[in-house]
Amino acid sequence: MDYSILVNKSNPIANSYFDNLSLVECLDIDGNKISVEKTAYNMYINLSAYLKTKNIFIEIASAYRSIEEQQEIIDEFTKKYGVDYVSKYTAPIRTSEHHTGLAIDLALIVDGVKICENEDLLKYEDIFFEIHQSLSDYGFILRYPKGKEDITGYGYEPWHIRYVGKELAKYLYKNNLTLEEYVEKQLTKVIIFDWGGVIMHRDPVENNDKQAIIRVIKSFNPTLSDDEAWNVYLNSLIDENGIYISQQCDEVSKAKWVERLNNLGNFNASLQEFSEKFSAEYLSVGYYSDLIDYIYSLKDKCQIGLFSDLIYGCTPALNKQLDLSKFDNVWLSYQTGLRKNTLDAFILIENDLLVSPENILFIDDSTVNIMNAKKRGWQTCQAFGYEIDKIKASVTDFLNNR
């Protein structure tokens, strides 16, 4: 459950959010059945209990609202308060925080009298001040504070609280930030993933890229052993000028690579034959779909990038495994002409991103690549794709290191 989700006029809630929403049923101040997200409700109960020790009595006026219920609110408030009031205080459908189940509109009980109407609640600023002081201890924030109207898009609502979790709530309260300001700040952070080894299977994991390459070489010369076939491939990668084939994509360089392979492997494949076989075998290599789903889920928290050394023939497999349009930036060696074993490749990325190096997290399985990233001041996580828990922990630490 993403308790930091931002829902506003610029960020309508997605249907997929509701798949993981766990609601509990409770009663509002008038005894009507309502729903609240489970953790948010439990923390509200704790907040309410604490405030009672201060002789402050709160109840829930409203919480979770369906799309249909939000439309009813809009219609009711338009009749009651007018269009100008609704545009200032009421969210269009799909843009209301109440769709999340994490937002609660508070009502007060003062001297045994229920205070529910917004215009009446505004008269009890002293009570709300005490409430606001305690919110972060229970994971809540004042969602629409004074002085932030231009940022949140709404006027001051002392009754509207939002559950975001204790850690984030305390951070926002301490730094006087709205959720909009926090999310904007987070989006200046970038997490960059390697492809081979992190997303795609690599030796010693079964169904890996090394096995695919050996199959390619042996399909043209079956007399070679696995080790011999692998060495043919490794020894073919660098041309007479010391440039790797993974840095080249022109037809002349491709043809020279296949010529080197033919000579080293004692076979006679054409460029087309070898390229087609290479791409076909790479398409069969395994990959970590659960990690890919996790990478996509980071899109609303930070920028995501892909940084990989790969040969042009890997492109069909890359496109099969990943939707590159979901990445904010993609750096492939055969397009940039730079490999990760040189600092120039990392400098190129920094120039593209224009963010501080400490705001970049690089996830790669190679020690050399990780060391280069560290030399540039990047945050790093050395891991294989099957170490998804390690990757998630590193990402969480990076995003929470504010």
Strand partners, 361: 191, 379
Residues 230, 101 share a domain: no
The DSSP secondary-structure symbol of 250 reads S
Please report the pLDDT score of residue 206 as a whole number: 86
What H or E segment, with its residue span, contains residue 363? strand 360-364
Residues 63 and 80 in one domain: yes
Q: Indicate whether 58 and 173 sit together in one domain.
A: yes
This prediction has a pTM of 0.62
| CATH number for the domain that contains residue 340 | 3.40.50.1000
Residues 170 and 195 in one domain: no
Judge whether 157 counts as a catalytic residue: yes
**Does 131 fall in a domain?**
yes
170 and 197 co-located in one domain: no
pLDDT above 90 (res 285): yes
Distance CA 215, CA 282 (A): 10
* Residue 177 and residue 48 share a domain: yes
Catalytic residue of the set 37, 97, 157, 281: 157
Q: Which CATH number goes with the domain that contains 130?
A: 3.30.1380.10
Instruction: State whether 362 and 310 are in the same domain.
Output: yes
Averaged confidence pLDDT in the chain: 93
Domain that holds residue 273: 209-283
Domain count, the chain: 3
On the question of pLDDT at 218 being above 70, the answer is yes
List, for residues 72-105, the tens digit of each pLDDT value: 988 999 998 998 888 877 888 899 899 999 999 9
Residue 3 lies in a domain: no
9 domain-assigned:
no
Chain segment 110-145, per-residue pLDDT in tens:
999 999 999 999 999 999 999 999 999 999 999 999
**pLDDT tens-digit series, residues 342-400:** 999 999 999 888 788 999 999 999 999 999 999 999 999 999 999 999 999 999 999 98
Question: Which residues, including other chains, have CB under 8 Å from residue 232's CB and lie 6 or more apart?
Answer: 217, 224, 261, 264, 265
Q: Give whichever of 149-153, 180-184, 363-367 has the largest mean pLDDT.
A: 363-367
What residues contact 17, with CB distance under 8 A and at least 6 apart?
5, 99, 100
